[in-house]
Amino acid sequence: MSFWGQLNLMDPASWIQSEMILFHDHALTLLVGIFFFVALMGVKLLTNRMSCRTFFEAQQLETIWTVIPALLLILLALPSMRLLYLLDENFSSKVILKATGHQWYWSYEVPALNVESFDSYMIPTNELAAGDSRLLEVDNRVTLPYNVNTMVMTTSADVLHAWTIPSLGVKMDSVPGRLNSMMTNFLLPGVYYGQCSEICGANHSFMPIVVQAVNI
C-alpha cells in the first residue's frame, strides 16, 4: 500500500504491474529528455542575436525535425501496444475469483478453493484494532494463493463499480449484467489493499478491497 510522502509508484506485486512500471519509466525518460531539449532550444533562440532576412527555407532541417519526433512516437507506441496486449492475455488459470460490487460492499466467491459467496464490509473507524488502516480494513478478506495464475472476474449487482488493486496493476469496471475478467499472479505473499475506483454513490469511499496472498 502507499504511504504519506511517497513519491514513486507502489512496489509491484504482480508481473503485469512490473511491466507497467517499466513502461512508466520508459515514457518518463522520453518525456524528460524532450522537455529539456525543447527548453534548451528555447533559451538558445531567445538569447541568439543572429538573423538572416534572405533565409526562407531549410528542407534538411524540416526533414530532421519531422523524422525524429516520428521515431520518438514509435518508441513510445510499440511498448504501449505490447502492454495493452499483455493486459488482455489469458493464461491457463487454476483459480478464479469472482467479485461482485454492491452499494456499498463487495461479495466474493472462489469455487476452486471451495469458498462460497461471502460479503466483505469495511470495518468502521471506532472498531479498528491497533495497527489497522483506516478506511481500508474489511471484516472478511479474500484469501488467494500466491505464485499461481488467478483470473479475476467482476460484475455489479446495482450500479457501476471498479475493482482496483494498484500494486497488482488490476483495475476493472464492474458493470451490471456483464462480466469483465483479467489475469493476475501474486509474486509474493502479503496483504494487498485497494478501493472502488468508480463513483458509485454516497458511500463510494467506504468499500475497500483487501486480498491476502498466502501459500496454499
Domain boundaries, the chain: 15-49+57-88, 95-214
- CB burial of 85-105 (b: ≥16 within 10 Å; e: otherwise) equals eeeeeeeebebebbbbbbebb
Q: Where are the alpha helices (DSSP H) in 88-175?
A: none
Strand 150-156 to 142-145 pairing: unpaired
77-112 tens-digit pLDDT: 999 999 888 888 777 777 899 999 999 999 999 988
- Which residues, other chains included, contact 137 with Cβ-Cβ below 8 Å and sequence gap of 6+? 122, 123, 128, 208, 210
pLDDT at res. 109:
92
CATH architecture of 95-214: Sandwich (2.60)
Q: How confident is the model at residue 1 (pLDDT cuts 50, 70, 90)?
A: low
Averaged pLDDT, 198-214:
91
Q: How confident is the model at residue 27 (pLDDT cuts 50, 70, 90)?
A: very high
pLDDT at res. 48:
82
Q: How confident is the model at residue 209 (pLDDT cuts 50, 70, 90)?
A: very high
Q: How far apart are CA 101 and CA 162, in angstroms?
A: 8
